[in-house]
Amino acid sequence: MPDPSLGVLLFLPYRHLEQRVLDAVVGAGYPITLAQARVFQRVDPGGSRLTDLAAAAQVTKQTAGFLVDQLVEGGYVERVRDTTDARARLVRITRRGHDAIDVARAVQDEIEGEWRDHLGAEAFERLRADLLRLREITDPWA
């Protein structure tokens, strides 16, 4: 396959990372699906509203609600009252959720280390910086 598109080039390492992190988290005793993890990843440390989660994960609020229900079931998050708005509730990360995040972060650091070794520290930091700049024009939330 000659000259893969930038889209594919972005996707390949993304999927590699995602899959390895997911495998590690599940393997460490935190069963979770990919779809659940994609929402979980977006939960703000201070708690998130369902609507915001849905927007960030680019799914409907129904889908987000469905997945949050499962995350609650798994013990990773809890729903608490939003004292500032009686319609809303906040999705908040539990202790167990934080434990799972710790596992994820460790694997992520490990993988980033591999990438740094392969590219060289300079190129690695450059890559990160370039991606951050790209985010400015590709992330509606940035």
Residues at the interface with DNA (CB under 7 A): 33-36, 38, 49-52, 58-63, 65-67, 70, 79, 82, 85-90
Segment contacting a second copy (CB under 8 A): 1-9, 26-34, 61-69, 72-80? 1-9
Three-state secondary structure string covering the chain: CCCCCHHHHHHHHHHHHHHHHHHHHHHCCCCCCHHHHHHHCCCCCCCEEHHHHHHHHCCCHHHHHHHHHHHHHCCCEEEEECCCCCCCEEEEECHHHHHHHHHHHHHHHHHHHHHHHHHCHHHHHHHHHHHHHHHHHHCCCC
Residue 39 tokens read as: 């929402």
Q: Which is nearer to a second copy, 75 or 115 (CB)?
A: 115
| Binds 4: which of a second copy, DNA, none (CB < 5-8 Å by kind) | a second copy
Q: Which is nearer to a second copy, 20 or 79 (CB)?
A: 20
Q: Which is nearer to DNA, 1 or 121 (CB)?
A: 1
User: In the complex, what is the shortest distance from the CB of residue 11 to a second copy, in angstroms, rounded to a whole number?
Assistant: 5
| Binds 59: which of DNA, a second copy, none (CB < 5-8 Å by kind) | DNA
